[in-house]
């Protein structure tokens, strides 16, 4: 689990925990990933298990363009740490660079088609798909599989989420898939300010 989560659970100040990690004085095991992320392996909290589906656990990380490659590795580290904190045994990490509107992502299609993958973990809903996310979740649930979204706090209102998906789809058709997200955000800001 990440430093912030462990500090909150244990009742410590986050800065104190960071200092303990820098000075190698942590009371529980921890590791530093190549990107500098610190993952704490506290046996008290790692005994939890991912409820529901069996089978392999795959952590799927995606960014839209090659200039976000550093963000891709950080995203992969965060969701892998989450998988370990939920008690996953040896989760696989799959990273991909491609548009969220594009349905031709080879690695994601392989994961979705593989019946041995029981759990797919993503950081945000839009990392898996920009539109029709609920259809993917329903199809996987019908097979006894599941999707876990680590941070589902992006949009809580269903109407706002639906409107964002529709705008993204229309902008992708009109302006191309690459600039669709930016135009969608601009349209939402204009609607909010009107």
Q: What is the DSSP string of the chain?
A: -BHHHHHHHHT--HHHHHHHHHTT--SS-EEE-TTS-EEE--HHHHT----S--SEEEEEEEESSGGGHHHHHHHHHHHHHHHHHTT-SS-EEEEEES-SS-S--HHHHHHHH-TTEEEEEESSHHHH-SS-HHHHHHHHHHTT-EEEES---S---HHHHHHHHHHHHHHHHHH-STTHHHHHHHHHHHHHH-
> Nearest 5°: phi and psi at 85?
-65, -25
Indicate the average pLDDT of the chain.
80
Look up the pTM and report it: 0.57
The 10s digit of each residue's pLDDT in 103-128 is: 778 898 899 888 899 999 998 887 88
Ranges for all domains in the chain classified under CATH 3.40.50.1390: 56-149
pLDDT, position 121? 92
> Nearest 5°: phi and psi at 155?
-135, 120
Kindly list the catalytic residues. Answer: 64
pLDDT at 58 over 90: yes
Q: Which CATH superfamily is domain 56-149 in?
A: Resolvase, N-terminal catalytic domain (3.40.50.1390)
């Amino acid at each position: 689990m990440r430093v912030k989560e462990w500090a909150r659970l244990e009742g410590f100040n986050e800065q104190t925990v960071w200092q303990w990690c820098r000075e190698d004085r942590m009371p529980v095991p921890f590791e530093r990933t190549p990107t500098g992320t610190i993952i704490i392996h506290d046996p008290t909290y790692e005994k939890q298990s991912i409820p529901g589906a069996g089978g392999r656990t795959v952590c799927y990380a995606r960014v839209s363009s090659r200039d976000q490659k550093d963000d891709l590795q950080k995203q992969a580290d965060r969701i892998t740490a989450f998988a370990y904190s939920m008690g996953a045994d040896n989760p696989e990490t799959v990273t991909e660079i491609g548009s969220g509107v594009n349905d031709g992502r080879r690695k994601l299609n392989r994961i979705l088609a593989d019946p041995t993958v029981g759990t797919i973990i993503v950081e945000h809903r839009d990392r898996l798909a920009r539109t029709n996310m609920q259809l993917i979740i329903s199809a996987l649930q019908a097979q006894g599989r599941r999707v876990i979204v680590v941070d589902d706090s992006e949009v809580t209102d269903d109407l706002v989420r639906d409107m964002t998906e529709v705008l993204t789809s229309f902008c992708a058709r009109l302006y191309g898939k690459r600039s669709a997200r930016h135009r969608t955000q601009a349209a939402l800001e204009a609607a909010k300010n009107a």
